[in-house]
Amino acid sequence: MEADRPPAAAPDRGHDPRLEAFTEHRPTLLAAAFHITGSRADAEDVVQDAWEKWARVDLGEIDAPRAFLSVMVSRLALNAVRAQRRRRETYVGPWLPDPIVDDGSPEWAVLQAEGLGHALDIVLTALTPEQATAYVLRKVLDVAYADIAAVLECTPAAARQLVSRAQRAIGTLVDGTPAERRARDERALAALAAAVSTEDVDQIVALLDPASTLYSDGGGRAKAALRPVLGPERIARFLLGTVQREDSRFEVVVINGRPGVLAVVDGVVTTTLTLRVNDAGVIDRLYFVRNPEKLPA
């Protein structure tokens, strides 16, 4: 018989140590699976698979449930990413991880509280699956290098190298506290919104790094740029054209733990916007998600 899905709020089923342990750690496991896969549905499937395995383990043989579950979920998420490769190869236009808006739900509370942001998940999904998994295991879940090596079937020294390479790619995205990172993004978003609202091309350009890039994910289901938009001037024209084409209402929200914007038309979310600020304090990446399959939640 298939194991019961652990509910968000467990009913009174007596003392069930497996369910209690899994429910306690589930938000952390969900966030970790999402960091590795970049997909809400895949992360939820990974955590469900982990529950079905966990429901059959002998708790007497488990010294540290959180560490055990972290390794289990990361291994399942790594397998899910490897299975995604063909889907990614046939995807129309740039593929971006799902935006998850903070709605106060306890399910994704850890993801939002981390303050790591959509930009980090985008960088993670651009790494090799092994680098992303190593980074999440070490930096997010605080798993020992020996256990990371077991998941990745490599040596502890190789696991350290994978984490180091991922850390270099991520750069300053995780510098400072979550509050400091959010404040930095809020300032950048506010300045960009003001420049776009006044249609001030020069001011938009001034806010962008000379090598800035805009990615727009429509998945072939919504109007989007099929290739990255390169350079401040082209990005400025894209932003102004997007705003002028749509009768949208804009809302500032928290997406994957950092400030972002929703564009809403007739009560339906049509676009999410997030950004990345580099160590010089200017915007070097903009990310639009317009694929309706990624927006209903």
pTM of the complete model beyond 0.85: yes
pLDDT of residue 6: 57
40-81 pLDDT per residue, tens:
999 999 999 999 999 999 888 898 999 999 999 999 999 999
Q: Which tens digit of pLDDT belongs to each residue from 157-190?
A: 999 999 999 999 998 888 888 899 999 999 999 9
Which run of H or E residues covers position 123?
A: helix 117-126
- Amino acid, single-letter form, for residue 284: D
Q: What pLDDT shows up at residue 12?
A: 46
Task: Quote the distance between the C-alpha of residue 239 and its chain's center.
Answer: 23
Q: What CATH number belongs to 17-171?
A: 1.20.140
The predicted-structure confidence for 79-89, as pLDDT tens digits, reads as follows 999 998 878 88
The alpha-helical segments, DSSP class H, found in 127-229 are 129-135, 145-152, 156-170, 178-197, 201-207
Going from N- to C-terminal start, the domains of the chain cover: 17-171, 178-294
Residue 9: its pLDDT value, please?
A: 45
Q: How confident is the model at residue 244 (pLDDT cuts 50, 70, 90)?
A: low
**Residue 296 burial (CB < 10 Å; 0-12/13-18/19+)?**
exposed
d(Cα 224, Cα 25) in Å, to the nearest integer?
38
pLDDT surpassing 70 at residue 107: yes
Q: How many C-beta atoms lie closer than 10 Å to residue 3's C-beta?
A: 15
pLDDT surpassing 50 at residue 2: no
Cα dihedral value 234, 240, 245, 248, nearest 10:
130
Domain 178-294, CATH: 3.10.450.50
pLDDT at 15 (0 to 100) = 72
How far is the C-alpha of 37 from the C-alpha of 84, rounded, in Å?
Answer: 9
Rounded to the nearest integer, the mean pLDDT of the chain is 91
C-alpha distances in angstroms, 228 versus 108, 147, 261?
Answer: 29, 38, 20
